[in-house]
Amino acid sequence: MNSGHLAFFLSIFATTQALDNGLALTPPMGWMHWQRFRCLIDCDIYPDECVSENLFRVMADHLASDGYLEAGYEYIMIDDCWASKERTSEGKLQPDPIRFPSGLKNLSDYVHGKGLKFGIYGDYGTLTCGGYPGSKDYLEIDANTFAEWGVDYLKLDGCYSDYHTIEGGYIKMGKYLNATGRPIVYSCSWPAYQEPEGLKSNYSLLSEVCNLWRNWDDIEDSWYNVTEILQWFADNQDRISQFSGPGHWNDPDMLIIGNYGLSFEQSKAQMAIWAVMAAPLIMSVDLRTIDQKAKDILLNKDVIAVNQDPLGIMGRLVLTKERIDIWTKPVLPKIDDSYSYAIGFLSHRVDGYPRRINFTLSELGINSSKQYTLKDLFEPENEQKIVTTKKLVFIRVKPTGGVLLLATPEDNSIKNQKR
């Protein structure tokens, strides 16, 4: 086969395969502008906050220098409202010339120069949700443009499209992305348009076509939204959780930690349960002004390790006791047949004092003859050793707060060797 034939064969091959890009083997981590900066485009009034290349450069600087990249937050992602309302004469998307005067290839080079990866937003329909040009009828040309710009992550939204027949376009876009030869994480949104209308999305297809997908409504900056979203995930966990895993993830939407809506305790709760759900950890916060306590939550290495556990199992709500939800997720290390478990608590209580509850591991569905050590990942000094999975454990959860425990089985073989 000469090189021309080979290239032809490879291009056919690439365009007929389902997504198998080897990306997102653990839940993607990064920063996205939407929740904090929305469609703020008036740079005269808000020069430091408007959606512009300056904002992304500054946030890239902070991501790279303030410990976030080191902790795993590697993608910096532009959400909606970046584009010019007009395509170029060749039909290509282009950024708003006033707000992105250097162009997106230049911005992407800047981001890559910091050791970060570059993400962008598009929409499968005729317009984006914010009213900018959509990719309908331009899927291939847009996939190629994104690749030319050095895009590493595409969030493809679904506004202004027919949600009954939306899958076909997403599949096509996945193929065009693959055909560019550039590894691009592919975030789909079609369930977020179907599920709220009472339709059941095809999760088996999603896990073949997309690296992650938004299942449900947008998060807003409030505890109410966090708990509403979690309620939907809990109600639907039997249907959706098995489709999450290395390379393909359910996405309950951005972390709102560090903004205006969550208390310190509520922030720990969001982080704890997002970690247990193996949710993408996408911050959306002003990294210039975030306070240290919120930053510490976002950078907690042990909590991130739960989220990034290589098994990639999506945790589940297993018990609600005295209005405190308990979610569990099997993680490594596995000793003989016994997994370790992350155990996340989220309290719906508002009665003003840290409520003490008791439970046994066995009550949470954890059955093993091993002894477990329990570490409180936000307050590691509270380590407890318990004898069996039948022993009562007591913990305190603050009002509308969260706790994350890691239960690790004892390795008797190591102990015996030491003796």
Question: Distances in Å between the alpha carbon of 327 and those of 98, 277, 366?
Answer: 47, 8, 12
Q: Which of 74, 157, 167, 325 touches ligand GLA by CB under 6 A?
A: 157
Closer residue to ligand GLA (CB): 156 or 343: 156
Active site annotation includes 218 = yes
- Within 8 A by CB and 6+ apart from 167, the residues are 190, 202, 205, 209
Least distance from C-beta 131 to ligand GLA, angstroms? Answer: 9
**Which range binds ligand GLA by CB under 6 A, 2-10, 127-135, 368-376, 395-403?**
127-135
Output 190 or 203, the one with its CB closest to ligand GLA. Answer: 190
Q: Which of 74, 79, 142, 167 binds ligand GLA (CB under 6 A)?
A: 79
Q: Is 191 a binder of ligand GLA (CB under 6 A)?
A: no
Stretch that binds ligand GLA, among 126-134, 332-340, 396-404, 409-417 (CB under 6 A): 126-134
Interface of this chain with ligand GLA, residues 102 to 121, rule: CB under 6 A: 121
Which is it for strands 338-347 and 324-335: parallel, antiparallel or unpaired?
A: antiparallel
What one-letter code names the amino acid at 186?
Answer: Y
Q: Mark the segment that binds ligand GLA (CB under 6 A) among 44-52, 84-92, 123-131, 236-244.
A: 123-131
Active site residue 157: yes
**Cβ closer to ligand GLA: 187 or 389?**
187
Q: Are 186 and 156 in contact (CB under 8 A)?
A: yes
Which residues lie below 8 Å from residue 173, measured CB to CB, with a gap of 6+?
Answer: 124, 135, 139, 142, 143, 156, 186
Residue 269 and residue 343: Cα distance in Å, rounded? 12
Residue 315 tokens read as 């945790």
The answer to whether residue 34 forms part of the interface with ligand GLA (CB under 6 A) is: yes
Judge residue 415's burial from the number of C-beta atoms within 10 Å of its C-beta, 0-12 exposed, 13-18 middle, 19 or more buried: exposed
Among 69, 111, 129, 407, binds ligand GLA (CB under 6 A): 129
Torsion of CA 134, 136, 141, 147, to 10 degrees: 60
Considering only 27, 130, 191, 402, the residue that binds ligand GLA (CB under 6 A) is: 130
Q: Which of 42, 218, 235, 379 binds ligand GLA (CB under 6 A)?
A: 218
**Exposure string for 240-270, b = 16+ CB within 10 A, e = fewer:** bbebbbbbbbbbbbbbbbbbebbeebbbbbb
Interface with ligand GLA: number of residues (CB under 6 A): 10
Compare residues 79 and 195 and give the one whose CB is closer to ligand GLA: 79
CA 111 – CA 107 distance, rounded (Å): 6
Task: List alpha helices for 198-328, DSSP H.
Answer: 203-209, 223-235, 237-240, 264-276, 292-298, 301-307
For residues 104 and 129, which CB has a smaller minimum distance to ligand GLA in the complex? 129
Q: Which stretch binds ligand GLA (CB under 6 A): 124-132, 263-271, 294-302, 376-384?
A: 124-132
Point out the residues that are catalytic. Answer: 157, 218
Instruction: Give the interface with ligand GLA as residue ranges (CB under 6 A).
Output: 34, 79-80, 121, 128-130, 157, 192, 218
